[in-house]
Structure 1
Amino acid sequence: MYTDNCYSKIDNISVEYWRVGIYCRLSKEDEGTGQSESINNQREFLKKYVNDAKWTLFKIYIDDGYSGLNFERPGFQDMINDIESGLVNLIIVKDLSRLGRDYIQTGYYLEKYFPEKRVRFIAVNDCIDTFRESAANDFSPIRSVFNDMYAKDISKKVRTAFNIKRAKGQFIGSHAPFGYLKDPDNKNKIIVDEEAARIVKRIFEMYLGGMGLTTIAYTLNEEGVPNPSRYKKTVLNSSYVGRNKTMYWDATTIKWILTNPTYMGSMAQGKSEKLSYKSKKFINIPRENWQIVEGTHEPIVSKQEFETVQKMIERKNNQDFKCRKTPRLFSGFVYCGDCGSYMTYNAKRNHLYLICSTYKRFSKEFCSRHSIQEKTLISIVIEDMVQMIQKYVDVNGIKDKTVGLSFKDGKKKEIQDDIKRCRDRLEELKAMVKSLYTDKVKGIISEEDFLELNKGFTDEKNGINEKLQKLEKKLAELDRKEDEKREIEDIAKKLLEFKTLDRFILEKLIEKIEIYENAEIKIHYKFLNPDK
């Protein structure tokens, strides 16, 4: 497998030279294949192999419960770090599949990484020894493919087994939904967690009582009620982090609870699936394709309560959709001046308001409302923009104080003249090179003089071309600014004449707007105030 002379030298290397790393791996899928595959058996088998060879055992690396398709295993990475540090130069595994089951990655380590690091690799049961010539070494790429195919086959079998369990209503998740715990006597069953269930039941009662998603989140945050992530961490001592990685309730988490059929006693699974057996990415499955089995565990809310909530949410979503058809003039432009988060729209009694999104999501404990009615903000912005534009625009158009939109007199003409001079000189050099070549052919100048003079012309030509590119870029930028200046001039005149505001005007003239709780409003324009 390795080139150069390692085969002929192998028998002459003393046993003291080898610093051995034993690598043992067992994936969850391998656990049922018999005692011979256990971590303990791998370790003892390989320790005996090292002792019989009288080699020095440096370290044993173990990955228990890690797939062979994943090379980001902690034990494996620890072994790689020791190889990089020069602490290990011989790696021994029970068989090639213990190293990995992805034939591309396994091949990389066998064919490239280990040879470059001068590391010997032995797979005992497969008779692979990369420092000895053998048919087993030549067969190792094919064996890697078989190992990969085995992993694919196992993945299919596991998926089939999971589908069967889902169809029976058995729980197959690694963590029970908020409000439940895994049954200690049956890992495929969930039981009610009374403390968390009270929170879930209260959320349903609050929504049925007329409270909105955001209001419910506010209330729970103000009362210090732990959200699912904080509850699992502080009460259940679990490191698991759910959908909401913050420690606070938000509308999304509330809605997830209210729409989860688990809480009416139905097992809802198959909500996502892996792209492939080698990928860690999941894709979401449409709700109508979920696997839902009723009556699998004790409910926290009644079926009638759950279905009533679904109808309320559906009706509200339809109303929200109609509301979203209304143009949101300031979306993406307005920010809270105190906490820096964006201001979001809120409808109340047929009026549109902008309020701080931090306040809306987490309650007044984290920021204040900063509320301002949209039509009020429109009036303020138009008035400020008119005053600003009057400083810029006169009968002759935009004044020269407009930073970034104007340039000194003669600047464009100067650049155009430089461009013309560069192009003229390039034509001269072209003619000179042609004449020079003619002189060489006629024998007027020697080959050596021709090459020297031609190099000088070529260097000058390259320098002029580089300068020409920069000048043309500057000229294009000036043309762009002139076009932008004319466009803004048209927008300004339109605003002064009609005094109306739209998204196009905002996009062209305003960077952002900040709203402070003390009613102060700061408008940041895309150009500098001429008074500053």
Structure 2
Amino acid sequence: MKIIAYSYSDPLLEPTPDSSIWGWELDQIYQDLGKRLELRQLINDCRVDPVDYLLIRRLEELGDSVQEVSDRLAELEALGVQLIATEQPYTSSQQGQEPSITNLRADLLKLLQEIQHQQRSRRIRQGHARNRVNALPPPGKAPYGYRRGKDKYILDRTAAPIVKDFFEQFLLYGSLRGAVRYLGQKYGKKISVTTGRRWLTNPVYRGDTAYQNGQVVSNTHIPIISKEEAAQVDRLLRRNSRLPPRSASAPRSLAGLVICQECQSSMLVARVTTPRKDKEYLYLRPILCPKRPKCRAISYEQVLEQTIAGICQDLPRAVAGMNLPQLDAVKNALTKAIAIKQDILAQLPTLTVEGVLDTETAALRAYNLRTEISELQAKLATLPPVNLRSVAQAVSIPQFWLDLSESERRFYFREFICQIEIIRDRASWQIKLIFIF
């Protein structure tokens, strides 16, 4: 008894199936990629050397239309081959059973609607895949700030400056809610915080195009923000994700950072005013203290002074203890890998002209290289800046912090500090800084 298998896959849509999927001991496997040359060879081989069983995954792999599928089935039936679809409820008639072709047609009609649906879906996905390979924008409306051009997104000269200003405001203060409020006040452009977060993470504003399959192709159109700004946006978003929801836009620089070590409660900035006087007093008090009596509030200004003194004293030592040479090695490795892939990408047009690659293969290879480059660039963007030591030296001067506004101080605190612990000792207290790195 001779058993063979056949599979068809479109390289634009799916990977080549593994030979272990069949679960049978096979005499031969025929595989087609994009074109059905192996299918024709399979039928010719069956004429020379008869086959008992042919395994396929689904009937639609036999052709691009219902008519083609029907014709292939008729050819295989005439050769006495029993066909088994492993992912569909279909098995052709046994050899010698009559009327076999009538049985094939009856079974095929039962699957006709499903086959038509699958092939229509495949044609749509193939169209989208060709657009991806050619780095064309996906279907749908262009993101705010862009318009759809002939083959790429183009800047909307009216809306793009508004988006640019939104990003600059976020980069300046590190507050998403603050940037959203800024748009409403300056431009009358009202968006939700959720929409603002989508803007910050949308690859389109970085000059890249993202597709529904999750892949990103770099440098497809003019960006609104640079790659360096995009990396800083990602770092700020990761930093803010460690804080309580509204602390990122709180007006006070210590908001969301301070915790009481005694009761493990986060500490809230409380404001106290005196009647008929302009002076106000700021305190840090535990939000949910389970102790009785509760842990007392502490002067905000005193905690702020100790925090600045602690940064100036401890930050240089913390940075010096980091394994920066290893970090540099990782960055160099990623940069080298990106350069190698970009070099291969630059050689593809020459290989196409010389006939080494056909146009379709070159386009698919270029698409895969661009997505791989995007992934490497994303990894590179998550790493800390290389000049961390020089930055630490610069911010270790007390006057640097005293000259900043509260919003500016908030930005820099969250660049370095993960948490500030209040350690109580009867009547006194002290702070402990926990840095991000």
Q: Scaled by the length of structure 2, what TM-score is found? A: 0.32
Structure showing greater radius of gyration is 1
Using CA pairs under 8 Å that are at least 6 residues apart, name the structure with larger relative contact order, 1 or 2: 2
